[in-house]
Amino acid sequence: MGRDSVKTVIAASMVGTAIEFYDFYAYGTAAASYFPTVFFGGTGLAASIGSLLTFAVAFIARPLGSLVFGHFGDRMGRKTTLVVSLMTMGVSTFLIGCLPSYEQVGMFAVVVLVLCRFVQGIGLGGEWSGAALVATENAPENKRALYGSFPELGAPIGFFLSNGTYFLLETFNDQEAMMAWGWRVPFLLSAVLVIVGLVVRVQMEETPIFRMAQAQKKVVKAPLVEVFRKSWRQVLQATFLVAVTYTLFYTLGTWSLAWGTKAAGEGGGDLGFTNREYLLMLMGSIIVFGVFIVLSCVYADKIGRRRVLMFSSVALVVFAFAFPFLLDRNVVGTQNFAATMAFLCIGFALMGIAFGPIGAFLPELFAANVRYSGSGIGYNLAAIVGAAFVPTIATWLSANWGVHSVGLYLAVMAVCCLVAVVSAKETKDVDFTK
């Protein structure tokens, strides 16, 4: 059966994940740095936590999106579903950049912000699993993990673009300008990425494995019922396989930004970095993330998914107990660039190892006729378990119990991942057409 070219597969699968992480990280940066003032009218700990709670709304909406888009993805095909999910995600993100502030309309601004964030989460709920299927269902059998890295590489690309946009804005504008209009620019610019993504996806072919399922009349009428009836264990395994990567990502990218740049009274660690300095360090360390995604996927094709993920889980437990010393002012002092870069680079290296293989591993856990639904539900439940409240919980923990409590939180999530990996079967050699 015909397949799209490798270039088309890369573009179609990568662009949506890039937009996902661009949008989510743009929101995470804004929620940590600007939204406490813009939408909550203050700069204290209460405003910061209120702002970060709105960050959680999209993650709560994502499982609902995965139920909706998973159903249509397994019934109608990957292509159409991915086009609609991208539109849903893109429009809501653009609208966030157009919202009035708390000073202008009061609580109405917060209500509309939460509504846009919820719709954004619905669209995102159908994105990752569809992108992963476009990649893996077009892959040669011995390179599924490598092809599965294409949507995963969208994460560092989106992260870099988002941080780069904020970095340039903060270079040429003062804090007053950023509060007035600068924070809006990344959300408005997302429209450009969405248009590019739509052009690529409208032109791509349906995946050969879904066409095969249609030809063999294996498409099921109620894929969600089928998933929960036959594959509920795999849904749980998928959830905890992914959850730790979310916890790690938003610990590195969102919580640590606030910890590194804010005073103790505002939920920070008094480390003395400016927002611009910390963004620059994040942009440098994100390259490590991309490199280790590819390396981990190459090894996952050679030695199996489970071995790679077991290594990353154990390594993350060690990292979780070690990294707080790199972010403790009493240990490293203020503006210690070397310690902070060590924290970010090691963290993102482990993030790449843990995140890379799941692009193939999750779809391989499920049969072809329920693959969109099963992998999507697992991935998006992980967003609630591992990501929705990470910045809020980490900010509360570090403010009340110190930075070492954040490490303990990450260690618990890593152990949960290890249990999921140990309980799952190796999928490297499964027949992906069934």
Side-chain half-sphere of 40: how many Cα atoms within 13 Å? Answer: 21
Least confident of 19-28, 107-116, 217-226: 217-226
Rounded-to-10 torsion of CA 378, 124, 292, 275: -130
3-state secondary structure 34-54: CHHHHCCCCCCHHHHHHHHHH
Domain 6-423 class in CATH: mainly alpha
**Distance in angstroms (rounded) separating the CA atoms of residues 89 and 83:** 10
Q: For 427, phi and psi rounded to 5 degrees?
A: -120, 5
CA distances to 44, 49, 100, 112, 123 from 108, in Å: 21, 19, 9, 6, 23
Quick: pLDDT tens for 325-379.
999 999 999 999 999 999 999 999 999 999 999 999 999 999 888 888 888 889 8
**Distance in angstroms (rounded) separating the CA atoms of residues 400 and 396:** 6
Q: For 272, phi and psi rounded to 5 degrees?
A: 85, 10
| Secondary structure class of 424 (helix, strand, coil) | coil
Considering the chain, what is the average pLDDT of its residues? Answer: 87
Q: Give 145-185 as a DSSP string.
A: HHHHHHHHHHHHHHHHHHHHHHHHHHHHS-HHHHHHTGGGH
Alpha-carbon torsion 16, 387, 175, 119, what sign?
Answer: positive
Can you tell me which residue has the tokens 């790199």?
A: 326
Cβ count within 10 A of residue 5: 11
404 close to 324: Cβ distance less than 8 angstroms: yes
Quick: pLDDT tens for 157-200.
988 898 899 989 988 999 899 998 999 999 999 888 888 888 88
Q: What's the predicted TM-score (pTM) here?
A: 0.85
Structure tokens, 124: 């995102």
**Distance in angstroms (rounded) separating the CA atoms of residues 170 and 177:** 9
335 vs 24, more confident:
335
141 close to 432: Cβ distance less than 8 angstroms: yes
Q: What is the pLDDT of residue 18?
A: 87
Can you tell me which residue has the tokens 């103790």?
A: 264
Q: For 97, phi and psi rounded to 5 degrees?
A: -70, -10
Specify burial of residue 309 (Cβ count, 10 A radius: 0-12, 13-18, 19+). Answer: buried
pLDDT band for position 218 (cuts 50, 70, 90): low
Quick: pLDDT tens for 82-125.
888 888 888 998 999 999 988 898 889 999 999 999 998 888 88
**Max intra-chain CA distance, the chain:** 65
